[in-house]
Each structure stands twice: as C-alpha cells, then as structure tokens.
Structure 1
C-alpha cells in the first residue's frame, strides 16, 4: 500500500512571505495601545505589530486565496471567493457569511454590520453577530459597477459607493434608500477615502486624478493629477499637516499639500510593484504601505519639506527565488537568489535576523554615472543564476561569488556587510558572447572557480580579485558549455563537467588534466559532498549518476524522475541524496543501498533544494512562489522505517507548509488576551491542591500556647495619667475631666465574663446549617478569613462548655472529611484537624458516634498519604535516574 505522503519529511513552515497585492487592514488595540497591520499571503493572513513589524499571529488557511481584507475592533474579515469569513484572535474562523454568487472584492465593517460588494453587482449588508442578511442591493454592472466603498464620517447609516462608470451614490443602508447621486468626473473611481474634515472625501480615479470633494454641498474643493497612472490608494495625515498621499501602479507615492494645493514631496520606487494600500497612523507621523512585491514598509515624516524616509521594513523576494543554499555550518541561515535580482539571507530562527544583500550593480560610482546621464536603476545587474558561498574567510574578504543571467563577469558579495563585494571577476581575452554558468569556492575560502559557456574554467583569488589561471592546454577545459565545477576538501582535485558529456578530473595546483569519465548523457548540473568524496551529476535524460572521486568510477545510477532535475543536495553524512525535478516530486535516494527510500509530490514544481549542515531541515524553493519552504527531518525525532520503494511507486501529494505561529509567540505576547487560561480547581483525583494561604495562618495553630506565653505582658495595664481631650468634664469653676470609675479587679483581670461567650458564633451557626444542607463551603470560608487565635477560639467554642453541642463536633469532623475527599486545601485540613484533636480528643473519646466518624476519617487519611507517598517515590526515582544519566 502506498504511504500517505513522505515518511521522512514533514512540513514545518515557510520563510520570506509578508504581503501580496491585497490591500492591508489596520487595527488599533485599546488594551495594548498599539497598532497592528494585517496582510494577506494567499490563503491565510499575517498580523504584524507596527512598532517593530514583528509577526504576532498567523491565521488558519482558507480554501481559496484571499481577495480582500477588513478589520474592526474585535474581528478580521477575509473574503475568499464567494465566502466571507470572520476571524477572532487573528486566527480561527468564528463565522462564515454565505450569500454572494460572485467573487467578493470589497468589504466595509460598519458597527454591528458588515457591507460587502461582489463583481456581479450585489451589495449585501450583514449582521456580524448572527450572520443574517440585513439588506441586499442589486446593481447592474453595465450602468453602475461598484468599484469603491466608504462610510462618511458622522453620517449615520450612510455608505458612499463609487463605480467604474465614474458616478457616486450615497445610500442609507437602514432604510434602503438612495439619498443622492454624484455625476462624477468622467473617469472610473478606484478609491474613496474619508478626510479628517467632516463632509470632505478624497476620490481617486483611473486617469490619475485626485479630487477633494465636499459631499454635503456637492462641491469640488480642489483636484490634483499624478502622472503615474491610476490612483491605487489614498491616505490623509491626521497628526497636523494637511497632506494627502496617493499611490500608483508603478510603486511611486506622491504627497500633496491641501493648503498650498501643490505637490510637496514624492517617494519614488517605494515598492517594486503597485502600492496596494497606504494608511497613516492616527495622530502619528507614520505611514504603513504594502504591495505585491512582498514588502511591508513603515515610513516616518521627519524630513525637511514634508518628505518621508523608510523607518522599518519586512521584505522578501518580489519574484520567485531560483537558487538556495545554506550558509554556514550551523544551518540557521539560507541564502536565496531570486528572479528579482536580489540576494537575501533568511534565518530559520527568527525573522529579525534576516538580511537583504540587495541588488548587484555594474558600477558603484553613482555620481560619475549621473554625469553620463545614466540612471542607477539601469545599472542593476540581471538576476543571479548560480552562486557559491564560504564562511572560512568571510570576515577577511568577500565570501560569496555569483553568476548573473547573460553576463560574463561574476560578482563577489560580502555577507557580514550585507553589500556587494569590491571585485568583478572577468577572465581576460574571452569572446563577448560567453556567459558564466557555474561557480564554486574552495574550502579554504581563498579561491573561486568559475565555468563559462565557452568551455573555459578560470581560477581567481578572492582576496585580490586577480585572475590566477585557467584549466586546459588551449585555455578550454571542455568543448561545450561548462555545467558544473567543484574542488575537493584539500584543494588537490578539481572536477568539471560540460555539455560534451565529459566529467574531467584536474590537479588543482598545476591545472593539468588527470582523468576523464564519459557520461551517458549531457550533464545538467552537479553537486559534490566534500566529506565523503561523492559527486552527484544530474543528466539531461532525467537520470542521476553518483561518482566516487577517489576511484573515479560511477558507483550509483538512479532513474525515476519524469522531468528535468532542477537541483540536488546531500545529507550531512553523505548517506542520502535529495533531488527535485520539474515533475513536482522530491525524491530521497539512499546511496549505500542504491534505492529510492522516500518520494512525495508538491503542488508547485521545486526549483531549488538545500539540506542544512545539521540535517534537521530541508529547504525548497518552488515555481511561482515567493517563499522558502522548510521541511522537518523526522529521522532526528524518532525511528523512521525506510524501505526501498518499487519502480512503479505513485507518490502522494504533500501540502506545502505555512508560516508557523511559534515565531509569533517568541516575538510578542498574543494580541488577544480574552481567552486567558483558567486553572481548574482540582487537576486529578490522585492529586492534592494546597490552599496557597500564608504558612503563618496554619503552621502556628499547634503552637498557640507557646506564642501566648512568649507574648504575655510583663505588667498589668495601668490607667492613663492624663485623660484624653474627648472625655467629659466635671462642672465647676476649675475645668476637670470626669474619669470612669475603675476598680482594682478591672485593672488586673483579663478574663472574659460568661455572658460574652453565651451567644453562638457565626462559624457555629454556619456549621450547624451545613449539617442540614451538606455543603461546608460557608464554614470553611469563615475559618479561612480568621487568624490563628480566632481559629482556636472558634474550635474551642464547639463544645457545650463554650456554647456549642456535640452535633457541632460531628459537623466539624464531616467538614474535614469532605475537604480530604475533594483534595483541595490539603494543608488547612490537616492543620485544623490537628488543633481540633488537641482541644477535644478527651470529649470525643466519650462519644460513640464521633469516634465512628473519626475512624472513617483515619482510614481516608491513611489511603491519601499512601497515594502521595507512591507519587513522591516515583518522582524521586526518576530524578535520580536523570541525574545519574547526566553525570
């Protein structure tokens, strides 16, 4: 029977996903006093805090991609297809709204209601709590296609709708009446935004025009026009300066002064793609933007002239990554080169350790290029097709070498400075149509090997960037394009393979050929595991060949892929070879047995794969995906039975992992704390719970006589020599205070009279009521509120000499029995029982009913202590074993 998915790898999480083309939603948490931004990443959304752009939570995935987002004080609303889902605590779905027949594209929370509009012309008003449809409006998309929606401030139950035809309509959603129609400005409305001034709204059109309009007077106050195409977003500053920001599909943002009615600043290339949304934080000079370039940015307005600068950013690849490699020996960083031309480093520990090494440029001299009339954007290098990295000498000089698409020159990069390096590695006297195709860095970190499409392999010194020679007698190592280069651990052997079907072995120092091996097909790529000396070569006929560089023979051949092999990686011990291909499979080959031991399908074809040097994670990059996916190695967590798979094995598809919320827990506390954990009163029947009261309240009950003796006064109290001012005076010419008559007996005796003890106490009354009802919570609560001396007095008064009777003694025994049976207040029960027996043991021995109750209580005490003793012994044994194992 086929196994369900992979038995060796399980999805862990994805790195480098932050935003897409869906406009973000901004929330303010009253309890945390912090802003949160919600962005979509496909079928789920992420929540970041604006203060540090740290991820707070990750939502559960929906069936389809999210088309629009909205948020109110408590919930986040996400539309996926025709369904709208309400998320609580930014994670789980608590309500689904069904009723649309077309894809939902607009959402607007309004108090206890939610307004949604779809592409078919339906506008539905929902009851948020019940999920019922409160009102439904139908528009003809040919005459009024709803393209924007806004609630005017202070307009109760009013919604302003914008259309692709240019007209605007003001509706009352409570009475379902059309209040007013604005003819528009002969251009499709793309965005509506409320301004800080009441009755004034901002309207963005498809022609790039921005209109500031008073909807109460139907009067246009001013208008601007941006030259970058349609207005994608509008935002008004609320911290003082009258500024409105407009976004464009080209990624530029313009800032317009509403008082001077002119453009005051612009932020070009704020995003590499269209600006999906821009929002000003209320009362702060901060603006949050997001775009389809997989970036969230926070801008601060502290520049002269009203300009903004980038304050913080979370950004991944804006185009799918093509090549990935682990950097370093700890397996915590993954270098990734994408089609967007950037080289980035993603941390598997936490996203705050991510690095962006930026774009490569032809020349760093910007001022010189400006004089020539060349823009810096035009000098960017093409995307990286292959790169190699080393950590041995990265603190001394550049440790990364990269080849670019369609270019002969290779570039160096510095990982620690996060910049492009100082050297451009270009071979001398080479035809211009040659292109760098393969690269490798020696294990010592001093040399770089670069293969070209013309068959040449050159050696460069990384410290100086100088050319140190090339392989081959006629300066050509192969008669065809070089597909791979590698050097062994001790820099004694260099291996190259080319499109001439040859694998050649060279002496590294003399650069003389020693041997060659004829392959069965043209090689596409190769990968060397330096520790084991195994070289894997992927061939164009979809097969794999493993060569032992010591014996220089093919020791393994693997066939099974039904598409071009895109990448390969070895496990740290060299036992497994993991390959990816365009047939959407990830296969693991066991080299000692020469068999396929694991295979699974993914929804998108993988183009890059890398296993960490520690062997804990497998990283993959996929077609049309901006993230890097991590797979957990199950063999490190427990025994995994790997059996050879048959030749006709049909793999099962594995779901690509999503973003993990564990990182959010490390970053910050959860945004919602309403679901705080409430501890149970009692965890189990065999466990006991202490009262958590101070030890002085129950430990001193058996030593009250000693405490009284120690605190006994040394002399009797004496009358005050002078009376206080509030005492009555004796009438007469000379004022004298009237002191109360005292006797010698009153000044010396402290014995209370019988009359003060004749009345039954509150505890006695509660205990008598508990005997009838069977609930002893009330008398126990009274005892908990009393101090040690008061507890002694209450227990003393239970006998007939103290105003009680024998029924109260029996009731107290039942109360202690109930406490021991429940397992709660374990310490108080034993302390109260010890004092009770000390005071009344002689009286209880003469009562047969009370003695029977005490015998039952004694058996319960013995069984309870036996269970606790067994638990103690088991815990002590386990601790002793653990300590001995560690030593």
Structure 2
C-alpha cells in the first residue's frame, strides 16, 4: 500500500470494438468498449450513464438487451445485469470475436469456427449452451448477421470471401454464397426483404439478394482501405452509410445507385461502427481515434452535419496540469489536441478550439490534422487573469513561436508570441508570471524574452553579456520560472548553468553550475525552492534566495520524465522511465514512498488540495487519477501508508471508479442502483477528520421540528371540531400503526367483536403484554450487536411527531403499580437509549439530529432519570462526553472566528 491509491481513468470514450445500440422506451442507449471495461451513453446528449466493472482481458465483442450487457473477453463471455456480473459463459476454447442477439438467444462465434447458442431465459443459472455448431475448416468467420423474416437463420461472412446461411435450430448449413474473392469485413441486413449489404477488404460494397443469390449493385470506395462497417437508413430515405479504414464515411443513394456525399474528415482513424438511429435521420459513428460522433441529415442538399460528439485523445498526452482548484485538468497530446478534462463531470470535458480548423481544412482540401498546431511540449497557466485576457501559453514541437489561449472561451488567443524574430529558433520553455500579465519564453538558441500577454508585445529580453552571441544561455533553454512577487526570474540551460535574473531590470543577479546537463526544472513560488533534474538522474533542490543547494535525492535508474511539488511545498514527486513514481519529503530529506507501475509515467500533476494525483503513461490515451489515502481515511499520518524506500508494485487505475459505478454527472434513470451507490459512498467515507463532527444532512425542518414540536402542535390545533359527514363512505376497519402500514382486522362478526372488546382493552392496558414495536426491536438488536447504524437510519426516517410518540410510549405511568419501578421494561428501554446517546455523541455522528433527539428525550424522561439511581450514572456519563465533544468543536469555532476577524480588520 502506498500514499496514492488507484482511483479511475478519464478520457476514454471508445475503442476498436464495434458498439451495441438498443432502444429503451423513448430513449436510445449505446454500449461501447473502453479496453477492459464497457460504458453506456445516452444518445440524447451523449452523456455517460453507466460504467461496467473491470474485466481480466480486453473486450472483443459487445451485445446489449434491456438491462443485460454481454461482453466477450478472451475465451469467455461475461453476462452483466446493469453493472453487476451475474454469469460467465466459458465454453469456447479460443478467442470470441462476434456476438449476436437473436430473438431469445445469443450467438457467439470464435476464431476457430465454433458457434454456440445460449438461451436468454435463465441465463444466470444455466451456464451451458443449448446448441453448438462447428463450421468448416476452410471457413474462418469474420462477421455474423440475421436477415429479417428468416426464421432461425443467420449468415456468416468469412475471411476467405464466402458467406454461409445456417439454420441454428437444425444446426445445418442451408446454402453457401461464393462471394467475391475478397475477405468479408461486415454484413448487414437492409429494410428491404431478402437484401443484404456486404463490405469487403478490397473497398467494395455488394448489395446482394440472398433469396436468388443475385447481385443488385456494387459500390466502390474512392479511398483506399477495407470497408469496415455498414448501416442502412430506416427513416424512409434510401441511404446506405459505409465506413472505411481511412476514417471516411460515404453516403450512398440506393435509388439513384450512386454516391451522394462523403464526410472526408469524419474521423482521424479507422471507423469501427456505423448505425442509423431507428426512424431518425441521425447517423452514429465510432472510431479507433477514441471518439463517438452523431451526424444529422437535415440540410437542403442532403449532406450531413455534425450534431454532437464525445472525444478524447487519439494519441498519448505529453503533459498535464491541474486547473481551477483541481476541478479540471489541462492536457496536451501527441494528436495535436489541447484538451480540458473535468474530474467531476465527464461531459464537461472538451477540446480547446484552434479557430475554424474544419473550415480551413475543407477550403484547402487537406486533413484537419495538417491544419492544427504541432504537439504541445510545454505550457503554463495562471487563473488570476482568466476573465480579463488569455491565461495559458503553449510551446509547440519545432515551432519558433508560442501561442496564447483563453480558457474562459476555450479558444486559441489572438496573439502569437515570436521571440527573437531576427534569429528564430524553436521555443522550448515558457512560464507565466504570478500576476498573470507576462509570459517568459526560452528558445533552443538560448534566447529568453518577456511578453505582455494582453497585447502580445515584447517587453524586453534577458541577455548575459558574458555569453557569446548576446543571449541568455550558450545552449538550449531547458526551463524558466518566476517568483511570487515578480522580483526574480530563474532560467536553466542545457549545459547545467542556472541563472537568476532581476525580473523588471532584466539584469543577471547570480548563477551557479550543476556540473551536468539539465533535463527539467520546477520552481515552487511559496518557499522559493528550485528543483532540477540532470542526466545523472539526481534531483537537486536549490534555495534561490540563499543561492545554495539544500537537498539531493537519488534513486531513479532511468530518465526522469517529470517533477511536481505539492502545494504546501513539503513533498516533491518524480516519475521515471523505469516505471517508478517516488515521493520525497523535503523537510526530512528522504524518500517516503515509491510505487512501480507496468507502464512508465510520462507526466504528472498534483492537485492544489493534494487529494488527487493525475498521471499520463506511455502509449496510453487517457489520464489516470490517484487519490491521497491520508485525505480520505481515518488516519492523517502519512507514515501509516508510506512504504519508505521499498518500491511497491501497483496496477494502473481503471475506467470504473469501483465495480459498477455510475458517473456523478448522470441524470438518466437507466439503472436504479442508488442503494449500492450510497452504501459504497458511506463505506468509502465513513472516517472523519479528528475533532470535527459529522452532520446528518437531514432537512433543517426535520430536526428543528423535534425542538419546536409543542409550538407546532399549538399552531396547528383546529379552531373548531371536525364536522361529521352527512353520509360516511364505506371503509375497511383498520388498526392504526406508527409505521404507516394498514393493519386490517380479522373478519369477525360484530357480536364476537363486542364480546371480546373488554378482553382486548384489558390487554391494551397492560403494556407488558404488547409485542415490542419496531423502534424497540431495532434498539435492542443494535445494543446487542453494539452497532447502532440501523437504529439511527430508522429514527432518521421517522417524522418528528412519530418519533415524539415513540419516546412518549416509554413513559412510566405512576398509577400502574402492578410492577416494581426497577423491573419495568420501559426503564430498560430508557437505559438502552442513554447507551445509544453516549455512543453517538462520542462518535460525533449525525451531530445536530442527535442533539435534537436528546433534548426531546430529556424533556420527556428527565424526571424519570432524576428519580432512578440506576439511570443517574449514565446521565452523568452522557453529560461528560457531551461537554468534552462540544468543547473541542467550540474551540475550532473560536479559532475560526478569531482568524476571520483578524483578516477582516487587516489593512492591505
């Protein structure tokens, strides 16, 4: 166990596995694969509504029906009801590559030609297939489909180019289509009977009549590559959509038998799925480029336009940074995209606009990727001027200028910063001043220049006259940084020279040599510590003001990829290509924790609250989140989690936060798992911060109603008695109950009821003969188990008047002297309630609600406690604990009051 525990991965939208679409009621949902897990999106807004659990292997095929999802991974098929795996079908001996929902059956096909038929009914208990078909040796299945109105029949396409029609009921091959001497990649039925569309690897689409084995028409893709997916329109338009390995979507007019339109820049990579929504002019597409897009056909010329989309990085991100107090993450990837990911609500994630990329690409007839800026290699941001002007500056690969971005509008800024226009060299380092007005740029030629971000005008350069060529450094500038007061600017050169400059005057104040080439620098503004990494794999910390080295950390065995300070300046985190993430305590001067992951970390960032760590990894398109255990557990002592010098192997975070978790931003009622979510939430956050109290989160009126119950009763007292209705309606005789359940009397005659009325009244008067209420049953069982959580949940669900009645039912009636007071069951129940209050107050749970209940309890039973010596000791114990807990809380309140008054009266 380490300080940081895997939480979840963000930025994954879809993978190379075709999606599965189903309609529930009036809404359409799409199930997609994201590696070893699956996700469900609502097509109305493409918002994430459900995330499946992590599987042992990558998903190869998907199918969905109602509440069930079927995922093929390796040789197995997982059956999920909502988000919980209820069964595993393990009969295949090779990898399953296709699933098909076929009425009340599910068909699965593996790469060796085995096709199993599984029954939908009783799938959770019956783990054995009801049928098995072994295909021929020279027939390698590549796709499967069911032609409409063909009872119990399916068509399978093969990599050899032929197709076969099988009857799954009789397990016999009915017919074999010769094919077109090209591997079949996809096959779909059309709205017209007996007609199917077949896509081949040679880029041709064959519209075929399977009843007569006749070809109707053939279409050929204009771009190279295989036809990977097909879909027919079902809203009355004679359209066929085809997707290829080049990322182009072609729309074919079946009536005119020609190409109608082409979406050239639909996706950046191979298209895996296309689907026309039922009776809607909307086409959904997914691609290997980690995106889902929806296109609508509502223009006059019939061309589709982009309706909505969800996308992530199509190539691994290079650098990341927390933004907006840890709510968002800025990420720059090798796909030339600059993205903003939301940690809280996934649907708020988006790509920052680079100003009319699609329009310019269409005008110049080039790909959008060629129009976009080159990949970002370094960036810096400042939140202080977000609403005034651009607040992000980026350096791009092999680019001699830097660009500014305005995050308030999620768009590229209007200014381009060009340092040293006389001798342009690629910009390698950038930094924004603490005030947010200036950007400092360092180039590969050793030039450092300051710019005003608002106007984009140069405000001078930093020149070391001792260097040849009149520049800041003799070699490449590795990094630049500014202090918190705009007095100092720090720069590092490739040859190991660290220089400190006067920010305003641009004069060199001091310099020192490391002795080897510098790889990266990070500066912490609060404590003035500069961290440097050299090619000797040693992390050195310098006090910039004192101009001396203060710490040295060594332990990495390969190139250090990134560094990050904690917000309080006590920790420094480092990642390396050796797969390790190490945490160093600056004050103690030693390594306090280290973890090793399978995939090396390329970038990392720690949130300002120090609760979440974000990492990027080699060949991974997502951003991985880790939680600080000391923030979300009972012990705030980091030493209880830290591994010290020992390196602990840890797996990467998964897409799902926990098994079967839902997205926080989801408002769709696809699943009803609030109880499981609440239970997992409670179990995860059941620890409290020391000396603080936990509130019940009940409505204020509920616990205040207990305090003011007498006032409410007087206010609600009727002015006049209720009038008797002229004609009373028929009703069933019932017994009133506190739980709200209606208890009907048995069908006794009126005479029998009248005869036994006296006996029943006698029993009612004797309380000891009554069965205990649910209130008392839960209280007694909770006391026996020494766990009052169930009892607390029960009384929190009672109304103020009902809870008042339950407490008053425990009153000892003085007139009834059949039993000694010490032996009364009510006295025992009062004693249990005192034990309950002592436990809850000492645990500081549901603080405001428990205080209201104690006040009502003492108001009713205070005299009984005073008269009974047995209860007086527990009453004193409750008083002592109550005073101790309140003194701790009141001390914190007083400290906060003093601090607020001090700050509010300060003159800045």
Q: TM bucket by the smaller chain? A: 0.7 to 0.9
Tell me if structure 2 keeps the 8 A contact 1:15–1:627: yes
2:499 partner SS: strand
Distance 2:448 2:594 in 1: 35
| Offset from partner CA, 1:23-67 (integer Å, 9 cap, x none) | 11112223xx32111111111111111112121111111111111
Distance 2:77 2:301 in 1: 43
Tell me if structure 2 keeps the 8 A contact 1:600–1:651: yes
Task: Give 1:249's aligned residue.
Answer: 245
1:83 to 55, 61, 76: 76
Deviation at 1:821, TM superposition (A): 5.7
Task: Give 1:14's aligned residue.
Answer: 9
Q: How does 1:501-520 map to 2 (within 5 A)?
A: 501-520=496-515
1:161 to 156, 161, 175: 156
2:600 is aligned with 1:601:
no
Distance 1:27 1:857 in 2: 67
2:271 is aligned with 1:275:
yes
Task: Give 2:611's aligned residue.
Answer: 616
1:876 partner SS: helix
Tell me if structure 1 keeps the 8 A contact 2:419–2:441: no
Distance 2:646 2:271 in 1: 47
Task: Give 1:803's aligned residue.
Answer: 755
The 1:26–1:424 alpha-carbon spacing in structure 2 relative to 1, beyond 3 Å, is: same
The 1:562–1:870 alpha-carbon spacing in structure 2 relative to 1, beyond 3 Å, is: closer
| Offset from partner CA, 1:138-176 (integer Å, 9 cap, x none) | 2345x2111110011121211111111221111001101
Q: How does 1:487-886 map to 2 (within 5 A)?
A: 487-637=482-632, 638-642=635-639, 649-660=646-657, 664-673=663-672, 781-783=743-745, 802-804=754-756, 817-820=769-772, 823=775, 859-864=824-829, 866-868=831-833, 871=836, 875-876=850-851
Distance 1:824 1:552 in 2: 72
Task: Give 1:144's aligned residue.
Answer: 139
The 1:360–1:389 alpha-carbon spacing in structure 2 relative to 1, beyond 3 Å, is: farther
2:474 partner SS: coil
Deviation at 1:257, TM superposition (A): 1.3
| Offset from partner CA, 1:177-215 (integer Å, 9 cap, x none) | 111111112222111111112222111111121122221
Task: Give 2:312's aligned residue.
Answer: 316
Deviation at 1:648, TM superposition (A): 6.0
Task: Give 2:93's aligned residue.
Answer: 101
Distance 2:217 2:768 in 1: 82
2:294 partner SS: strand
2:421 is aligned with 1:421:
no
Deviation at 1:235, TM superposition (A): 0.9
Task: Give 1:259's aligned residue.
Answer: 255
2:212 is aligned with 1:213:
no
Distance 1:409 1:612 in 2: 29
Distance 1:785 1:533 in 2: 86
Distance 2:405 2:804 in 1: 73
Q: How does 1:128-527 map to 2 (within 5 A)?
A: 128=120, 129=123, 130-140=126-136, 143-228=138-223, 229-328=225-324, 330-359=325-354, 366=360, 370=363, 377-431=369-423, 434-472=425-463, 473=465, 474-527=469-522
Tell me if structure 1 keeps the 8 A contact 2:594–2:645: no
Unpaired runs of at least 5, structure 1: 680-706, 718-761, 767-776, 787-792, 836-841, 846-850
Task: Give 1:725's aligned residue.
Answer: none
Unpaired runs of at least 5, structure 2: 679-717, 727-731, 778-797, 810-814, 842-849, 856-881, 895-908
Tell me if structure 2 keeps the 8 A contact 1:595–1:645: no
Distance 1:317 1:612 in 2: 21
Deviation at 1:654, TM superposition (A): 4.1
Deviation at 1:822, TM superposition (A): 5.4
Deviation at 1:855, TM superposition (A): 9.4
| Offset from partner CA, 1:766-820 (integer Å, 9 cap, x none) | 9xxxxxxxxxx9x99335999xxxxxx98xx779xx4348766667679983432
The 1:149–1:511 alpha-carbon spacing in structure 2 relative to 1, beyond 3 Å, is: same
2:41 is aligned with 1:48:
yes
Distance 2:387 2:266 in 1: 32
Task: Give 1:738's aligned residue.
Answer: none
Distance 1:263 1:860 in 2: 87
2:59 partner SS: coil
Tell me if structure 2 keeps the 8 A contact 1:598–1:645: yes
2:663 partner SS: helix
Rg larger in structure:
1
Tell me if structure 2 keeps the 8 A contact 1:600–1:654: no
| Offset from partner CA, 1:213-259 (integer Å, 9 cap, x none) | 22122222222111222111111111121211111111111111111
1:480 partner SS: coil
Deviation at 1:436, TM superposition (A): 1.4
Distance 2:758 2:406 in 1: 89
Deviates more, 1:577-586 or 1:108-117: 108-117
Deviation at 1:15, TM superposition (A): 1.7
Deviates more, 1:639-648 or 1:177-186: 639-648
Deviation at 1:410, TM superposition (A): 1.6
Deviation at 1:430, TM superposition (A): 4.7
Distance 2:825 2:43 in 1: 59
The 1:454–1:109 alpha-carbon spacing in structure 2 relative to 1, beyond 3 Å, is: same
Task: Give 2:794's aligned residue.
Answer: none
2:51 is aligned with 1:61:
no
| Offset from partner CA, 1:466-514 (integer Å, 9 cap, x none) | 2333222343211121111111122221111112111111112222212
Distance 2:822 2:207 in 1: 84
Tell me if structure 2 keeps the 8 A contact 1:820–1:860: no
The 1:482–1:174 alpha-carbon spacing in structure 2 relative to 1, beyond 3 Å, is: same
Deviation at 1:645, TM superposition (A): 8.2
Deviation at 1:88, TM superposition (A): 0.9
Distance 1:263 1:822 in 2: 73
Task: Give 1:700's aligned residue.
Answer: none
Distance 1:267 1:376 in 2: 13
Distance 1:232 1:478 in 2: 54
Distance 1:345 1:417 in 2: 12
Tell me if structure 1 keeps the 8 A contact 2:776–2:829: no
The 1:808–1:644 alpha-carbon spacing in structure 2 relative to 1, beyond 3 Å, is: closer
The 1:417–1:121 alpha-carbon spacing in structure 2 relative to 1, beyond 3 Å, is: same
TM-score scaled by structure 2? Answer: 0.77
2:102 to 95, 110, 115: 110
The 1:376–1:164 alpha-carbon spacing in structure 2 relative to 1, beyond 3 Å, is: closer
Tell me if structure 1 keeps the 8 A contact 2:52–2:656: no
